[in-house]
Structure 1
Amino acid sequence: MRSGGPVCVAGAVVEIAVPSESRRAPGISMAGFRGRAEDPVNLQMVPYPAFTVFLDFGDALLVDDASGEWRRGSVVVGMTSGSVRGRGRDVDLLQVRLSPTVAYGVLGVSAEPDATVVALEDLWGRDTGRIQEQLRAAGSWDDRFAVMGAALARRRETGRRVDPEIAFVWGRIVTSRGRVRVERLAAEVGWSRKRLWSRFRSQVGLTPKRAAMLVRFDHVAHRLAAGHGAARVAAESGFVDQSHLCRDVMAIAGMTPTAVAGAPWLVVDDIAWPGVADAVA
């Protein structure tokens, strides 16, 4: 385990723990968060090109402002999570990010869930309660990472697998930071554009074009959060102009580039998610 030390997030002082290199697996990343705020903290999620699993042992509440749905405990949030916010005072949380090519087997989902936030129990059934008990009994973050890693490995071993062509296309989208044409990807795997569109949508949960937009948005969001100006980011990320970037950011996150640049949700990323590309490959 590696500790990131205390970080201030929207008024809450949070300690962050991440697994050692030996516990990391392709397409899966985990981080532990623990802390307390004097007053309840509201954090707007920023969309990310991975499914996110929250296993909460504090008082966190996830709210989907678009649907009015709210959930406590262990939940899964889809990739297009711009309407979701977390609220709470006592932080004790294990967060897992799953590449959509991994989530296809591990979560048993072949598309974005009908609701942006769903209970993990709805996907894993009674296994969820057993895993939660093991996590509560774990004496350290290392133990929690080991418990969750083993559960994910079991499900990955027995779960479905995406087509090799879909895994290849997703990898190309990620490594190109979303700057690749669907027609070119179809040609590279020897499929028609229509077939790629259909198979990709059924296994990843988004169309290839939407997936590329989301991956490019993630790169843009982290550039903006690092202090780079919107005009420069637009020019260096393949947008026609700054207005084009603003439209895409608003369409995906429901925020302006300025709001994304200051989003508290991104404050912990450099510590909690080292090697962003590894987390979504």
Structure 2
Amino acid sequence: MAGFRQRTPAHVDISMVAHPSVTLFVDLSDEESLLYDADGRHDRGSTVMGLAPGDVRLGGRGAGGIECLQIRLSPVLAVAVLGASADLSGTMVSLEDVWGRDAGRTEERLRAAASWDERFTLAVDALGRRMSARPRLDPEVAAAWGIMLTSRGRVRVDSLADEVGWSRKRLWARFRSQIGLTPKHAARLVRFDHAAHLLAAGDAAAQVAAASGYVDQAHLHREVKAFTGLTPTGVAAAPWLAIDDVAWPTSLADLTPSPAGDGPRRAQ
């Protein structure tokens, strides 16, 4: 999870980049300043974004600034915490639609917290309470998802089926019903995420295509366009990816909370 704050009155408008996780945005602003546009649907407040949601823009208009807590959940955890993963894929819905009245109570506690560290602790507690009594994925589906992440999406469905001991048909059906995407589409999303971060790091598109397992640069271009509507050049400059190394450090040594101030804060 990571906390974001824009203290000065501002109009923020950022195009989201697809990520292999189910994402919660908890609006902590004073007047529900967090806005989103998902495939032409406009709404405000705390939201849940499923896997591969399509064209999404997140913004805000707040006289007192904007604050939000962003929580990324693997689809394995999303089933346990939200009671849904497949139902959320390709969509963006309000947190209240998923959590009911508990969404408002959680928002109030987080908003009243004295620090980001306290907010992180409260959020972990809220997630833990909901996870304890929720259904889980089949172990084989969870294992298949883990293999996808480890291989960065460069795995064939037949190989996945062999790894988990299922037939290809059974894996396809169970994975689709529990994750919300077919195994092939999920692997494409994971591979795209790896390529997008290489682009954001400044690697050339041809180099990224080769490193990520695409046939050629044109293949990379088509996949980037399919997931974001942007070109590889556009993805390389995406503000959301530019802060990932700060908000979501890959090194455990980088997880020490940063000093108070504007910008992203993070917690493991």
- TM-score tier by shorter-chain length is 0.7 to 0.9
Q: 2:233 aligns with which of 226, 235, 258?
A: 258
CA RMSD for the aligned pairs? 1.6
> Following the alignment from structure 1 to structure 2, what is the Cα–Cα distance between the partners of residues 114 and 185?
21
> Following the alignment from structure 2 to structure 1, what is the Cα–Cα distance between the partners of residues 159 and 90?
32
Supply the AA of the counterpart residue of 1:63: D
> Following the alignment from structure 1 to structure 2, what is the Cα–Cα distance between the partners of residues 276 and 56?
27
> Following the alignment from structure 2 to structure 1, what is the Cα–Cα distance between the partners of residues 162 and 149?
18
> Following the alignment from structure 1 to structure 2, what is the Cα–Cα distance between the partners of residues 113 and 276?
30
Supply the AA of the counterpart residue of 1:266: L
Give identity over the alignment, percent: 58
Supply the AA of the counterpart residue of 1:32: G
1:71 touches 1:117 (CA, 8 Å); kept in 2?
no
Size of the aligned set, in residue pairs, is: 246
> Following the alignment from structure 1 to structure 2, what is the Cα–Cα distance between the partners of residues 169 and 114?
17
Please tell me whether residue 84 in structure 1 is matched to residue 56 in structure 2: yes
Larger displacement relative to structure 2 (100-109 or 77-86): 77-86
Relative to the length of structure 2, the TM-score reads 0.88
Please tell me whether residue 178 in structure 1 is matched to residue 153 in structure 2: yes
Describe the SS at the equivalent of 1:40.
strand
Supply the AA of the counterpart residue of 1:100: P
1:119 equivalent in structure 2: 94
1:214 equivalent in structure 2: 189
Please tell me whether residue 199 in structure 1 is matched to residue 170 in structure 2: no
Describe the SS at the equivalent of 1:158.
coil
Q: Deviations over 1:6-43 (max 9, x none)?
A: xxxxxxxxxxxxxxxxxxxxxxxx00111245541210
Relative to the length of structure 1, the TM-score reads 0.84
Supply the AA of the counterpart residue of 1:55: V
Structure 2 gaps, min length 5: 253-268
1:44 equivalent in structure 2: 15
2:248 equivalent in structure 1: 273
Supply the AA of the counterpart residue of 2:219: H
Supply the AA of the counterpart residue of 2:79: Y
Cα gap change, 1:125/1:249 in structure 2, threshold over 3 Å: closer, same or farther? same
Cα gap change, 1:84/1:183 in structure 2, threshold over 3 Å: closer, same or farther? same
2:41 equivalent in structure 1: 69
Q: 2:120 aligns with which of 145, 167, 173?
A: 145
Q: Which has the larger strand fraction? A: 1
Cα gap change, 1:43/1:175 in structure 2, threshold over 3 Å: closer, same or farther? same
> Following the alignment from structure 2 to structure 1, what is the Cα–Cα distance between the partners of residues 140 and 110?
36
Q: Deviations over 1:112-153 (max 9, x none)?
A: 427721011111111111111111111111111111100101
